[in-house]
Structure formats: structure tokens, C-alpha cells
């Protein structure tokens, strides 16, 4: 199955099932217990974060304008929070697409991909609720949830056949509705989206900070990489939002 972004998302040709299984090959193998995840983050994610911090403001405004044009749906222009979230989601896809090829998938995943795959999980988890909130506000959340469950059930069912531990990926309709509703309330309280983004970082940090045997997420992902990805999305949003007024 290829990833199809919803709301203001645009379709991308990344096979989520292949990417997840490729990432899962390295679970428990790399990094080894002797390696310090924070040191790996410093080598792989921090250079990207530094480059983004130093990027010229005019260049970022131009990129946001291009993102806005791509994200228009039926003459609907994305809001400033949705525009910034879309930019972040596009960067997520770009990070993973760098490693995606049929030839690469036949080998063990390289360390850079593992770090970015996990970081993207954190970035996506923080940025995506912006879309959830706006879909709820526009009254289209139920149709989106139904479509999302149908599509992802196909992927998850295949994953569970490979390994029952992947059952943590399953979400019910009620769980989705709760997420959409909570996201809407936070966006209404803080229209610039900062509160929603900050809450996403808090949740990711909480979910991945406590490594327990029953926490199946930590069997697949490296918590430090996911948390750093969430913080990266927060950092990007904080820089993008003020610039979005001019784009």
C-alpha cells in the first residue's frame, strides 16, 4: 500500500508496509546496548536541525508558498497551522524517500534510515493532529476516519501476520474520534497551533520515556530517536508559523 496523505496531504509513492517491515528488521539489533542513542542523534538529526535553523527566511517563505499551492484542495487555501504542518509532513516523506528503493529493501536498513524512520514517527505524531483538528472543525472527520481505518487495516492485518506484536498499531473508530475531538479543542483554545504541537511533544515523550516490557512500541522504535523527532517538529513549527503570515 502506498501512503496517501489526507486532508491537505498530497499522495506520495512510499510503501508503508515495506518501510515498516524494513525498519523492523533492525529492531533489537541496531543500535546495540553499548551505543549511546543521544550520540547517534547528535550525528544524524542535529545537522539537519542546524541547517534548518540557519536557512534564510526568504527561502523558507518561498518554500511555504510552494507548499501552499500544492496543498490547495478545491480552491480551499490551507490555514497557517495546516500549512506549517504540511511542510513538516513533506519533510518527513522526503527524509524517508531518500532511502526507498527496491534494491535497498533487499539489504539490512542502514543506520541513517533507522534514525530517520523513528524520528519521522515522532514528527508525524506531533504535526498530524493539526489536520485532525481542522477536519473535525470542517465536519469531515467521520468520513476521513472511515477511509483511514479501511486503508490502514489492510496494512496492519498483514503486519500482524508477520508478528502479533505489531497489534499495537491498531486503532478503533472511537480512538480516532477521541483524538480528532481533543485536537479540535486544543486548536480552538490556541488558534496558532502552538498548544496542539506542544501537547503532541508531551505525549510522545511520555509514551516513549518509560521503557517497559509490555510497551510494544519500544520493541520496534528507539525511544530517543522518536522523541527527538517530535522535538524537531516542534522546533520547525515554531520557526515556520511566524513566516507563514507572509506566504
pLDDT, one tens digit per residue, over 73-100 is 656 688 999 999 999 999 999 999 888 8
Helix-helix angle 223-244:57-71, to 10 degrees: 90
pLDDT at position 212 over 70: no
What's the mean pLDDT in 56-85? 88
pLDDT at position 214 over 70: no
Instruction: Calculate ∠ Cα 17-21-22, nearest 5°.
Output: 115
- Residue 79's alpha-carbon distances to 58, 97, 183, 190, 244, in angstroms, are 20, 26, 15, 14, 9
Measured CA to CA, the distance from residue 144 to residue 245 in angstroms comes to 28
Cβ neighbors of 24 (< 8 A, separation 6 or more) are 162, 163, 166, 220
What's the mean pLDDT in 170-180? 79
Supply the pLDDT for residue 130.
Answer: 93
Measured CA to CA, the distance from residue 193 to residue 187 in angstroms comes to 6
pLDDT at position 218 over 70: no
Supply the pLDDT for residue 172.
Answer: 75
Among 235, 8, 245, residue whose Cα is nearest residue 122: 235
User: What is this structure's pTM?
Assistant: 0.85
Measured CA to CA, the distance from residue 224 to residue 122 in angstroms comes to 10
Amino acid at each position: 500500500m502506498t501512503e496517501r496523505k489526507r486532508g491537505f496531504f498530497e499522495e506520495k509513492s512510499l510503501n508503508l508496509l515495506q518501510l515498516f517491515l524494513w525498519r523492523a528488521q533492525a529492531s533489537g539489533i541496531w543500535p546495540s546496548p553499548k551505543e549511546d542513542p543521544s550520540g547517534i542523534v547528535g550525528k544524524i538529526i542535529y545537522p539537519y536541525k542546524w541547517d534548518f535553523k540557519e536557512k534564510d527566511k526568504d527561502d523558507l517563505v518561498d518554500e511555504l508558498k510552494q507548499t501552499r499551492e500544492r496543498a490547495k484542495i478545491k480552491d480551499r487555501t490551507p490555514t497557517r497551522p495546516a500549512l506549517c504542518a504540511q511542510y513538516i509532513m513533506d519533510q518527513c516523506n522526503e527524509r524517508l524517500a531518500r532511502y526507498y528503493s527496491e534494491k535497498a529493501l533487499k539489504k539490512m536498513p542502514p543506520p541513517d534510515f533507522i534514525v530517520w524512520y523513528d524520528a519521522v514517527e515522532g514528527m508525524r505524531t506531533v504535526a498530524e493532529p493539526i489536520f485532525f483538528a481542522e477536519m473535525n472543525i470542517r465536519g469531515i472527520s467521520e468520513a476521513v476516519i472511515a477511509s483511514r481505518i479501511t486503508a490502514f487495516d489492510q496494512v496492519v492485518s498483514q503486519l500482524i501476520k508477520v508478528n502479533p506484536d505489531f497489534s499495537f498499531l491498531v486503532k478503533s473508530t472511537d480512538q480516532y474520534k477521541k483524538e480528532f475531538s481533543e485536537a479540535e479543542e486544543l486548536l480552538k483554545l490556541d488558534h496558532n497551533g502552538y498548544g496542539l504541537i506542544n501537547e503532541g511533544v508531551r505525549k510522545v515523550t511520555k509514551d516513549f520515556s518509560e521503557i517497559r516490557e509490555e510497551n510494544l512500541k519500544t520493541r520496534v522504535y528507539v525511544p530517543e530517536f522518536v522523541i527527538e523527532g517530535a522535538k524537531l517538529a516542534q522546533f520547525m513549527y515554531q520557526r515556520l508559523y511566524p513566516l507563514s503570515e507572509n506566504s
